[in-house]
Amino acid sequence: MVLPDDLCHLRVYDSGHLSPIVWTTFQESVNVEDREDRPVPFATAIFSYIVGLVTLRFLGAPFIFSGLMFAYVGNTALAAVITKYLTKVSIHTWGITGPSVAILFSFGAVPFLVLVVGLVLGTARVTLGYHTWAQVALSFLTAVPFTWLILYIVPIAVPTVFRS
């Protein structure tokens, strides 16, 4: 069966999210509460996103797919540094609010609804006791501008990164 090009790219993009699933398969809980235990999941995720980015670039994926994967690499690396040296961040909140910026690139104002979902998700993480409000706010307020920077400024500053 032959798949349309965009569907092929979407399937490659989706494969970048397998590393957290593989990691949690061998753990008692999907929540990594101690920040000292987070480097391995971060490294695994970064590696899988790099593999996804290289694959998407090789396939000549449209900018939004490869750009979003590049944003995942950058965002996950930044979250890892913040977690190592400052405080634990809410990967759940970061993961929903950052990509909403990429969706904004393609679909206009609809992603603002996703940002609302990010707020609801962040509230749930605080309510469940996994994060503080400061950690959720840091995640939200870092993911949005950093993803915007990667998707809107990096391609202008370094156009060869996303050139087909």
What number is the average pLDDT over the span 114-120? Answer: 82
Q: Which amino acid appears at position 19 of this protein?
A: S
| pTM beyond 0.85, yes or no | no
CB 118, CB 96: distance < 8 Å = yes
The arithmetic mean of pLDDT across residues 61-79, rounded, is 91
Rg from Cα positions in the chain: 16
Q: Where are the domains of the chain?
A: 5-161
- Which one has a higher pLDDT value, 41 or 115? 41
